[in-house]
Amino acid sequence: MTAHTPPLQIPQLSPREIVSELDHYIIGQDAAKKAVAIALRNRWRRQQVVGELRDEIYPNNIILIGPTGVGKTELARRLANLAGAPFIKVEASKYTEVGYVGRDVDSMVRDLTDLAVSKVRAEHMDSAHEKLDALIEERLLDLVQPPIFTEDEETAELPQGEKQEKIDSWKKKRAELRDELRAGKLDDLNVEIEVNETSMPLMQIFSAQGIEEMGFNMPEAMGDGSTRRKLVQATIPEAREHLFEEEFDREIDMDRVIREGIRRTEALGIVFLDEIDKIVSSSDGEGVGPDVSRSGVQRDILPVVEGTTVATKYGPVKTDHILFIAAGAFSTVKPSDLIPELQGRFPIRVEMERLGEEEFFRILTEPRNALIKQYQALLATEGVKLEFSRDALRELARTAKDVNERTEDIGARRLHTILTTLLEDILFEAVDMVKKDIRITKGFVHTRLKDIVEDEDLSRFIL
Ligand SMILES: Nc1ncnc2c1ncn2[C@@H]1O[C@H](COP(=O)(O)OP(=O)(O)OP(=O)(O)O)[C@@H](O)[C@H]1O
Ligand SMILES: [Mg+2]
DSSP 193-247: EEEE---HHHHHHHHHTTGGGGT--HHHHTT--S--EEEEEEEHHHHHHHHHHHH
Ligand 1 binding pocket mutation candidate from 73, 371, 372 (most atoms within 8 A of CB): 73
Q: What is the pTM of this model?
A: 0.80
For 102, left (φ over 0), alpha (ψ -120 to 50), or beta?
left
- 274 vs 199: CA distance, rounded Å: 36
The residues, any chain, with a CB within 8 Å of residue 148's CB and separated by 6 or more, are 155, 166, 167, 170
Q: Give pLDDT, residue 450.
A: 82
Nearest atom of ligand 1 to the alpha carbon of 329? 25
- 420 vs 144: CA distance, rounded Å: 54
Q: Give pLDDT, residue 221.
A: 47
Q: Give pLDDT, residue 151.
A: 63
Q: Give pLDDT, residue 205.
A: 43
Strand runs labelled E in 106-228: 190-196
b/e map 115-129, b = 16+ CB within 10 Å: bbbebbbeebeeebe
- 92 vs 112: CA distance, rounded Å: 15
Give the closest ligand to the alpha carbon of residue 68.
1
Task: Supply the residue whose CA is at minimum distance from atom 13 of ligand 1.
Answer: 413
Q: Give pLDDT, residue 204.
A: 44
Nearest atom of ligand 1 to the alpha carbon of 363? 4
Nearest atom of ligand 1 to the alpha carbon of 328? 25
Task: Supply the residue whose CA is at minimum distance from atom 1 of ligand 1.
Answer: 27
For ligand 2, an ion, list residues with CB under 5 A. 72-73
Q: Give pLDDT, residue 317.
A: 97
Q: Which residues of the chain have pLDDT under 70?
A: 1-11, 99, 101-102, 150-155, 198-226, 282-293
Q: How far is the CA of 324 from the centre of ligand 1 (A)?
A: 20
Q: Is 412:367 a contact under the CB 8 Å cutoff?
A: no
Ligand 1 binding pocket mutation candidate from 29, 63, 74, 357 (most atoms within 8 A of CB): 74
Q: How far is the CA of 255 from the centre of ligand 1 (A)?
A: 41
Q: Is 168:119 a contact under the CB 8 Å cutoff?
A: no
Q: Please say whether the dihedral angle defined by the alpha carbons of residues 5, 324, 92 and 23, taken in this order, is positive or negative.
A: negative
For the CA atoms of 272, 8, 81, 338, the dihedral, rounded to the nearest 10 degrees, stands at 10
- 140 vs 241: CA distance, rounded Å: 11
- 397 vs 417: CA distance, rounded Å: 12
Rg over alpha carbons for the chain, rounded to the nearest Å, is: 29
**Terminal CA-CA length for the chain:** 54
Task: Supply the residue whose CA is at minimum distance from atom 25 of ligand 1.
Answer: 68
Q: Give pLDDT, residue 10.
A: 61
Nearest atom of ligand 1 to the alpha carbon of 275? 27
Q: Give pLDDT, residue 153.
A: 66
Which one-letter DSSP state was computed for residue 283?
T
For the CA atoms of 326, 327, 332, 335, the dihedral, rounded to the nearest 10 degrees, stands at 40
Q: How far is the CA of 304 from the centre of ligand 1 (A)?
A: 28
| Structural domains of the chain, with CATH | 15-115+261-351 (3.40.50.300), 122-257 (no CATH), 357-462 (1.10.8.60)
What letter represents residue 246's amino acid?
Answer: E
Task: Supply the residue whose CA is at minimum distance from atom 17 of ligand 1.
Answer: 73
Q: How far is the CA of 31 from the centre of ligand 2 (A)?
A: 17
Task: Supply the residue whose CA is at minimum distance from atom 18 of ligand 1.
Answer: 71
The residues, any chain, with a CB within 8 Å of residue 218's CB and separated by 6 or more, are 203, 206, 207, 212
Q: How far is the CA of 108 from the centre of ligand 1 (A)?
A: 23
- 402 vs 124: CA distance, rounded Å: 53
**Residues lining ligand 1, CB < 6 A?**
26-29, 68-74, 329, 363, 367, 411-413
Task: Supply the residue whose CA is at minimum distance from atom 14 of ligand 1.
Answer: 69
Q: How far is the CA of 462 from the centre of ligand 1 (A)?
A: 20
